[in-house]
Amino acid sequence: MVEIPLLAVPNQQLLVTLDGQDCTLHVYQRGARLYLDIALDGDLLRQGAVCLPGVNIGGEPYPFSGYLIFTDDLTLPDKQQPPQYQELGARYYLYYATDEEAQELAAEDAALQEAAA
């Protein structure tokens, strides 16, 4: 899993290569929500995706391999708050996981939930 470094600014664009994919990510705050646009090789795949902790922003049916996921490091998983730009890189982090890594994480999470029950 790879952390995608973000700055605590309300509007930023990043050019990154994720698992061989040339991506442009545009992260921006509008009102109380943080949004993400994803372009792959210059083609816009997703526009205005709402950023929420633990939710795959890459998502199908787009031809994007892997997962883009925000995390909230200061709250429990059942009480996570939507990211705000002021705390990007301090509380909220954006990660990229390959399909294989995401499957491993899901299996680990399921095992932890089963053990806690």
Which pLDDT tens digit goes with each residue over 8-17? 999 999 999 9
63-91 tens-digit pLDDT: 888 899 998 888 766 667 899 999 999 99
**Average pLDDT for the chain:** 88
The predicted pLDDT at position 77 comes to 60
| Helix intervals (H) in 1-117 | 99-116
Domain count, the chain: 1
Q: What is the pTM of this model?
A: 0.86
Q: What is the mean pLDDT of residues 44-55?
A: 92
Domain that holds residue 97: 2-116
Q: What's the rounded Cα separation, in Å, for the pair 14 and 104?
A: 27
Q: How far is CA 70 from CA 58, 63, 92, in A?
A: 11, 20, 7
Residue 25 binned pLDDT confidence (cut-offs 50, 70, 90): very high
Q: What's the rounded Cα separation, in Å, for the pair 45 and 49?
A: 10
Read off the DSSP letter of residue 63.
S
